[in-house]
């Protein structure tokens, strides 16, 4: 009898973005997952651009993973866009195709999770609008998603969009609040860790010989230029691939359970992730927060997987 080795199903919910592109490449090239869908969400740039960018990345990978476009704006607030990724959200990439928007992301997230209860990990590397919409439409969903692996928020580090908020959460705080207050299991990669783990151009040079070398060097050169204007580093901040890598090699991670809430009413703190860091009193931890990642393993595996 033929035996099939079933790979763990995942969905990548994303707003590409340079670091999103690296996360998508890492997950697909690893061949460790059954990538059921790329769902796009307005975030780094508008929905048409992020969806075109997702198509560009999948074409580079010669991948037939379906793309479902998602929410075009946040639940309540005015849309925000990012500055570090340049025009179109993926400066340095040769985007030539306009991907037709199908607005199917929310329905497809629900379908995929319903068809694979307790099995699907969702890699959430954009604003949480699609996920919140799916939870509103299907309130049982948080209980049957295996886990959300989220790039978002900050514990002690300053914000990267305003003084206290991280970009993905700031883009749609109301959506993030729905997600964090739900029963879903969350693994969170906050800025605190990602800020200290840039990858440098010399490290991307190790991809020489790979088909992806040229496009990656071109994208990362532009990303680093964008980052230099706003952050104190000369490297590419690998926010999204760092959380994606958790699924590839969880042993490289240290996690601490924390109680995390999203501020939606503050005049100065809108979009802040408020963490109860008191050492006393009762806590209701709702999130496993990544507190450290083995950088060497990440960089070595990233290079190995992309070259493979
Ligand atoms: C997050 O913001 C976006 O610009 C990146 O793609 C990442 O998901 C980091 O704060
Ligand atoms: Ca992103």
Dist. CA 13–CA 129, nearest whole Å? 10
Give the lowest-confidence range in 51-55, 198-202, 280-284.
280-284
Q: Is the CB of 166 under 6 A from ligand 1?
A: yes
Average pLDDT over residues 259-284: 94
Ligand whose nearest atom lies closest to the CA of 14: 2
Q: Is the CB of 19 under 6 A from ligand 1?
A: yes
Q: Is 281 helix (H, G, I), strand (E, B) or coil?
A: coil
Angle between helices 295-307 and 239-248 (to 10 degrees): 80
pLDDT at 282: 87
124 C-alpha vs ligand 2 centroid, how far in Å?
A: 8
Nearest one of 82, 75, 152 to 106, comparing CA atoms: 75
Quick one: which atom of ligand 1 is closest to the CA of 194?
A: 9
Q: Give residue for tokens 């601490």.
A: 256
Q: Cα dist. 52→21, 64, 88, 151 in Å? A: 12, 15, 9, 21
Local confidence band at 195 (pLDDT 50, 70, 90 cut-offs)? very high
Local confidence band at 36 (pLDDT 50, 70, 90 cut-offs)? very high
Nearest one of 10, 14, 100 to 57, comparing CA atoms: 14
Average pLDDT over residues 63-79: 98
Q: Is the CB of 125 under 6 A from ligand 1?
A: yes
pLDDT at 279: 86
Region label for 221, one of left (φ > 0), alpha (ψ between -120 and 50) or beta (otherwise): alpha
Q: What is the mean pLDDT of the chain?
A: 96
Tell me the pLDDT tens digit for each residue of 110-166.
Answer: 999 999 999 999 999 999 999 999 999 999 999 999 999 999 999 999 999 989 999
């Amino acid at each position: 009898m033929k035996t099939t080795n079933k790979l763990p199903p995942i969905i990548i919910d994303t707003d590409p973005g340079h670091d999103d592109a690296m996360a998508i490449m890492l997950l697909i090239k690893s061949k460790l997952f059954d990538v059921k869908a790329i769902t796009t969400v307005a975030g780094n740039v508008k929905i048409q651009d992020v969806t075109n960018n997702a198509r560009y990345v999948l074409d580079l990978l010669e991948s037939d993973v379906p793309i479902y476009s998602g929410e075009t704006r946040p639940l309540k607030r005015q849309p925000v866009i990012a500055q570090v990724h340049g025009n179109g959200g993926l400066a340095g990439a040769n985007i030539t195709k306009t991907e037709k928007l199908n607005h199917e992301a929310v329905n497809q997230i629900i379908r995929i999770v319903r068809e694979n209860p307790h099995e699907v990990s969702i890699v959430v590397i954009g604003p949480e609008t699609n996920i919140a919409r799916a939870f509103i439409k299907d309130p049982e969903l948080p209980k049957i998603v295996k886990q959300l692996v989220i790039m978002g928020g900050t514990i002690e580090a300053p914000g990267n969009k305003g003084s206290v908020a991280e970009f993905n959460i700031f883009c749609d705080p109301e959506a993030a609040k729905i997600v964090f207050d739900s029963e879903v299991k969350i693994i969170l990669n906050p800025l605190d860790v990602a800020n200290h783990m840039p990858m440098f151009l010399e490290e991307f040079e190790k991809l020489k010989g790979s088909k992806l070398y040229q496009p990656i060097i071109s994208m990362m050169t532009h990303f680093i230029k964008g980052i230099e204007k706003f952050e104190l580093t000369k490297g590419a901040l690998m926010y999204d691939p760092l959380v994606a890598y958790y699924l590839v090699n969880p042993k490289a991670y240290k996690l601490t359970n924390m109680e995390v809430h999203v501020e939606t009413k503050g005049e100065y703190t809108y979009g802040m992730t408020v963490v109860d860091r008191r050492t006393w009193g009762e806590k209701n931890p709702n999130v496993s927060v990544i507190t450290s990642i083995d950088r060497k393993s990440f960089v070595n595996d990233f290079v190995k997987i992309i070259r493979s």
